[in-house]
């Protein structure tokens, strides 16, 4: 047996023995205080600690010493620490373990003479976390000055996790304390992150990734729980095996799943859980116990590869918990008026939900230009992103408020908070009505510069907003959504039906159809994907289309058929060099020849456009313009590639601002080159939904925009309030300055000039 195997065996045996002893202590003690005192006694003996103490959080947010082995027992229920006070208070406030070899020398040390802790030096404190909240602190102390090992910290975290579960389950405390703990877990919560899609939504919490159902901690029949664990593991392993039987899997995904399967069959993982069950835990509690130990180890691991493998094991634990609860992996059935909570969500996953029930989104990861945000904006679903803790703080069915404008989420809001947001929602509705009343007004600046406003569309439902907003037409119809939401590639006939419906709903206004911009993060389950280190700059857009004419040509065929007798505007995405336009045009010509030879009705005219989304395309825009009739700036990707900053990354997405001299001068160059080539250019990026950015883009010469329907009313009002020459003079006057954000100064200038920014 290797040293690592020997260590693992000792760890498993040690923790299993401790859990078994804790179970016995609870089984034979009578009162709540006796149970608590028994626990501290057996834990202190097991870990060879001079002191073992349990502090619990009171409704007043004080931390009270509830039980101790080693300190003065008369201090129990008398010693209290304020939130954040002393080492115990710091552990509770930060929700992180604290380890020190000399507690009295720590800057946060708080002396309590009644405890008799004067001779103690070493300190290990671990928070009791439940539903994202600190319920208390588990403390180990020793007379000698020593460092606690990683194994001891891991064991303490395992005990703390179990204590938190017991505290919440009602198995440990008296009814009054249990009720107070429950009330604490269900306090109103206010979270502030990033507003992504504006609007206020009220609803009930629902989870994309369902939390583990509630369950008992200690088992009555260890053999029955062991059998349940074995059955759950067998079902889990069978499901992973079934994934690998998919013959359509390419090499890279198969390798990933093979690694995943190794963890599913790992004997060490299985034995640790079995040992926890034998010690007296239920199967679910055993899985969570081992999961907590693994997470504690994960926090210590620096190697990214090993961390990823531990994430795989964490995911397997969650799957196993769902198996034990008899739950499937299917998408959640939403309640009425649902606020969907998820760590991350793809555009196709969002569209799978019943949109009549979905009122708001709370995501851990999403930027204003991510594809899920674009879909949510098109559907008019308020979205707030930038945190994960809503997943642990909320429970299914909790009342929630999402404010996508200011980036707030309220979980279990008070009546006063709910009322204030109801009033805000009413004001927003009134404002939208005012914008609708202005929809027929000319979109011209105060000094006579005409600005054309078009609408972004992704699904037919969006077309209902065309007349209401007064948009000049559809500047960008994203056709890829049809490819993402189905179980298979949509046939040409199905595509033709959709495009004809869009033409009819447009009522004669122009529509620009962008061919499917697939690849990167936009791929359906039926599409084979190759592993790419940087998919955003990989095989996507026109690169994929010209390599896979079987995907591109049916779409072109459907567009030509749907446009019979009408003007057809086709926009090619992710163009980098002119040769890609030439390749796409050749495929288009083949479809035109095919239709002409069969005597079919043809479009009245065909106009081709190129999406400028990369610096390479921007610098050679004159070459590209020679092969097309119009140009569109894909501001979302252009900004991403300009700054070399992933627009979906929480770490970098807010570091860069489009209202910056370098980026604005770059857009000014694109607009100037397009004018020189005699080709109209439309800015299609989501940045133009921000009024300060929109004003800056007008200042650098952009006069055609395509925006979400919700942005058109405010945009028109802004345009009518601007003096284009004045804003242009201000912006261009700052082009020579050092690279820095101009937003704050420019916004102040706009407000002073009377621009309508709200």
pLDDT digits (tens, 9 = 90+) for 57-67: 887 788 989 88
pLDDT digits (tens, 9 = 90+) for 422-478: 767 766 777 777 888 888 899 999 999 999 999 998 777 678 788 888 999 999 998
Task: Quote the mean pLDDT of the chain.
Answer: 81
CB 424 within 8 A of CB 195: no
Q: Which domains does the chain have, with CATH numbers?
A: 31-185 (3.30.450.40), 189-208+331-429 (3.50.30.10), 222-324 (1.10.274.10), 438-752 (3.20.20.60)
CB 388 within 8 A of CB 209: no
The angle subtended at Cα 368 by Cα 399 and Cα 503, nearest 5°, is 100
Q: Alpha-carbon distance 143 to 162, whole Å?
A: 26
Residue 369's contacts (CB-CB under 8 Å, 6 or more residues apart) are 636, 639, 640, 647, 685, 686, 687
Range from 26-35, 472-481, 579-588 carrying the lowest mean pLDDT: 26-35
pLDDT at 633 (0 to 100): 95
Please give the torsion angle defined by the CA atoms of residues 690, 695, 700 and 701, in that order, rounded to the nearest 10 degrees. Answer: 100
pLDDT at 12 (0 to 100): 36
What mean pLDDT comes out for the span 111-117? 89
Short-list 223, 58, 202, CA closest to 137: 58
User: Encoding tokens for residue 732?
Assistant: 């261009």
Angle between the N-to-C axes of helices 283-300 and 222-244, in degrees from 0 to 180, rounded to the nearest 10? 60
Does residue 443 carry a catalytic annotation?
no
Q: What is the percentage of the chain residues whose pLDDT exceeds 70?
A: 79
Q: What is the DSSP letter of 522?
A: B
Three-state DSSP class for residue 612: strand
pLDDT at 386 (0 to 100): 82
| Residue tagged active-site, from 46, 52, 443, 684 | 684
pLDDT at 503 (0 to 100): 95
pLDDT at 374 (0 to 100): 76
Residue 94: pLDDT band with limits 50, 70, 90: confident
Range from 9-23, 495-509, 708-722 carrying the lowest mean pLDDT: 9-23
Q: Alpha-carbon distance 748 to 98, whole Å?
A: 46
pLDDT digits (tens, 9 = 90+) for 623-675: 999 999 999 999 888 998 898 877 766 666 667 888 999 999 999 999 999 99
| Residue tagged active-site, from 46, 121, 208, 371 | 371
Three-state DSSP class for residue 582: helix
pLDDT at 300 (0 to 100): 54
pTM (global) more than 0.75:
no
pLDDT digits (tens, 9 = 90+) for 732-756: 999 987 777 899 999 999 999 999 9
**H or E segment and range at residue 410:** strand 408-411
- Check pLDDT > 50 for residue 2: no
Residue 158's contacts (CB-CB under 8 Å, 6 or more residues apart) are 15, 289, 292, 293, 296
Question: For the chain, first and last CA: distance in Å?
Answer: 70
pLDDT at 538 (0 to 100): 65
**Looking at per-residue confidence, does 80 or 292 come out higher?**
80
CB 130 within 8 A of CB 164: yes
pLDDT at 307 (0 to 100): 46
> 462, exposed or middle or buried, with CB in 10 Å at 0-12, 13-18, 19+?
buried
Strand bridging mode 605-612 / 200-207 = unpaired
**Looking at per-residue confidence, does 177 or 198 come out higher?**
198
Q: Is the dihedral of CA 737, 739, 740, 742 positive or negative?
A: positive
Does residue 186 carry a catalytic annotation?
no
CB 559 within 8 A of CB 499: yes
């Amino acid at each position: 047996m290797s040293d690592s195997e020997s260590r693992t065996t000792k760890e498993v045996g040690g923790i299993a023995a401790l859990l078994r002893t804790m179970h016995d202590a609870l089984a034979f003690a009578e009162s709540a205080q006796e149970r608590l005192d028994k626990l501290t006694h057996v834990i202190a003996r097991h870990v060879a600690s001079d002191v073992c103490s349990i502090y619990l959080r009171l409704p007043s947010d004080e931390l009270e010493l509830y039980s101790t082995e080693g300190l003065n027992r008369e201090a129990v229920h008398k010693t209290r620490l304020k939130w954040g006070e002393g080492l115990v208070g710091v552990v509770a406030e930060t929700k992180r373990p604290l380890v020190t070899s000399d507690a009295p020398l720590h800057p946060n040390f708080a002396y309590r003479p009644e405890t008799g802790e004067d001779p103690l030096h070493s300190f290990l404190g671990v928070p009791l976390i439940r539903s994202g909240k600190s319920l208390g602190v588990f403390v180990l102390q020793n007379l000698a000055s020593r460092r606690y090992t990683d194994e001891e910290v891991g064991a303490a975290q395992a005990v703390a996790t179990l204590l938190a579960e017991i505290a919440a389950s009602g198995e440990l405390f008296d009814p009054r304390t249990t009720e107070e703990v429950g009330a604490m877990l269900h306090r109103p919560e206010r979270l502030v992150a990033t507003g992504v899609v504006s609007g206020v939504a009220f609803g009930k919490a629902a989870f994309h990734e369902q939390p583990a159902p509630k369950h008992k901690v200690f088992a009555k029949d260890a053999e029955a729980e062991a059998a349940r664990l074995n059955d759950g593991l067998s079902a889990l392993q069978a499901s992973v095996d079934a994934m690998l039987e998919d013959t359509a899997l390419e090499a890279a995904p198969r390798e990933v799943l093979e690694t995943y399967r190794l963890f599913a069959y790992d004997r060490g993982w299985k034995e640790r859980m079995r040992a926890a069950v034998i010690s007296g835990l239920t199967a679910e509690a055993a899985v969570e116990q081992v999961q907590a130990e693994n997470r504690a180890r994960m926090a210590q691991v620096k190697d990214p590869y090993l961390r990823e493998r531990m994430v795989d094991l964490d995911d397997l634990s969650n799957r196993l918990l769902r198996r034990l609860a008899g739950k499937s992996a299917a998408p959640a059935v939403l309640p009425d008026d649902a606020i969907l909570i998820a760590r991350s969500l793809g555009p196709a996953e969002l569209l799978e939900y019943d949109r009549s029930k979905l009122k708001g989104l709370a995501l851990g990861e999403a930027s204003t230009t991510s594809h899920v945000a674009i879909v949510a904006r098109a559907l008019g679903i308020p979205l707030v992103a930038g945190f994960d803790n809503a997943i642990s703080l909320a429970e299914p069915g909790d009342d929630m408020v999402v404010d996508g404008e200011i980036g707030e989420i309220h979980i279990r809001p008070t009546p006063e908070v709910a009322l204030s947001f109801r009033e805000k929602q009413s004001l927003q509705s009134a404002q939208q009505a005012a914008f609708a009343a202005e929809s027929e007004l000319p979109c011209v600046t105060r000094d006579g510069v005409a600005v054309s406003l078009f609408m972004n569309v992704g699904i037919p439902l969006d077309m209902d907003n065309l007349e209401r907003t007064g948009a000049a037409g559809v500047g960008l119809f994203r056709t890829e959504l049809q490819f993402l939401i189905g179980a298979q590639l949509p046939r040409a006939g199905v595509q033709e039906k959709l495009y004809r419906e869009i033409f009819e709903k447009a009522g004669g206004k122009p529509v620009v159809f962008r061919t499917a911009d697939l690849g990167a993060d936009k791929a359906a389950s039926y599409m084979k994907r190759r592993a790419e280190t940087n998919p955003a700059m990989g095989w996507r857009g026109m690169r994929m289309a010209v390599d896979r004419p079987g995907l591109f040509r049916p779409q072109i065929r459907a567009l030509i058929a749907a446009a019979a007798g009408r003007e057809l505007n086709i926009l090619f995405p992710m163009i980098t060099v002119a040769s890609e336009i030439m390749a796409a045009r050749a495929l288009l010509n083949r479809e035109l020849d095919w239709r002409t030879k069969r005597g079919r009705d043809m479009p009245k005219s065909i106009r081709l456009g190129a999406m400028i989304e990369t610096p390479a395309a921007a610098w050679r825009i004159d070459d590209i313009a020679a092969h097309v009739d119009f140009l569109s700036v894909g501001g979302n990707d252009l900004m991403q590639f300009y700054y070399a900053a992933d627009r979906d990354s929480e770490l970098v997405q807010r570091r860069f601002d489009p209202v910056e001299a370098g980026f604005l001068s770059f857009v000014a160059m694109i607009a100037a080159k397009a004018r020189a080539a005699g080709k109209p250019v439309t800015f299609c990026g989501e940045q133009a939904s921000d009024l300060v950015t929109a004003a800056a883009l007008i200042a650098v010469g952009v006069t055609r925009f395509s925006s979400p329907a919700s942005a058109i009313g405010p945009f028109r009002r802004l345009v009518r309030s601007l003096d284009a020459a004045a804003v242009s003079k201000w912006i261009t006057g700052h082009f020579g300055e050092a690279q820095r954000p101009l937003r704050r100064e420019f916004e102040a200038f706009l407000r002073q000039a009377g621009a309508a920014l709200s």
